[in-house]
Amino acid sequence: MRKTSLYLAISLVLLYFFFLPEISKKLKVIDEKEIAIKKCIEECKKALREGKNISSGPCLLNPIPELNDWVCDVAHWPREEIDNLPENQCSYFREGKAHHFVEVDTSCNLIRVY
């Protein structure tokens, strides 16, 4: 009985150390995603409040502050040709410096997250 308890304890410790980093990493990405969405929508609403014209689908945050792997981009829904112009896309994402983006429409509604 004592050996079984010891093996069980060792197994649990090993599982903890092997799987905890992966679980933490996935939770961090989920948390970052939610923060990125929130910051992007807030920045879009701020731009509208300040009277900025976002009808061309500009990049709003390049990168998103404190989330250097994320950018915030405005696009049309449905997508228009103007959205494909390089000057209307976030350079951090285009250049591979950021690997994720949040895309909102010109009314600050979430379109997609990548």
Residues 6+ apart with CB under 8 A from 70: 32, 36, 61, 63, 64, 98, 100, 101, 102
Confidence of residue 59 (pLDDT cuts 50, 70, 90): very high
Q: What does the pLDDT read at residue 44?
A: 98
pLDDT digits (tens, 9 = 90+) for 79-107: 999 998 888 899 999 999 999 999 999 99
Which 3 state secondary structure label does DSSP give 9? Answer: helix
CB 66 within 8 A of CB 77: no
pLDDT digits (tens, 9 = 90+) for 3-12: 776 666 566 5
Strand runs labelled E in the chain: 59-61, 70-74, 100-104, 110-113
Residues β-bridged to residue 25: none
Burial class of residue 113, CB neighbours in 10 A (0-12, 13-18, 19+): middle
DSSP symbol at 45 = H
Residue 66 dihedral angles phi and psi, to the nearest 5°: 70, 0
Mean pLDDT over each residue of the chain, to the nearest integer: 87
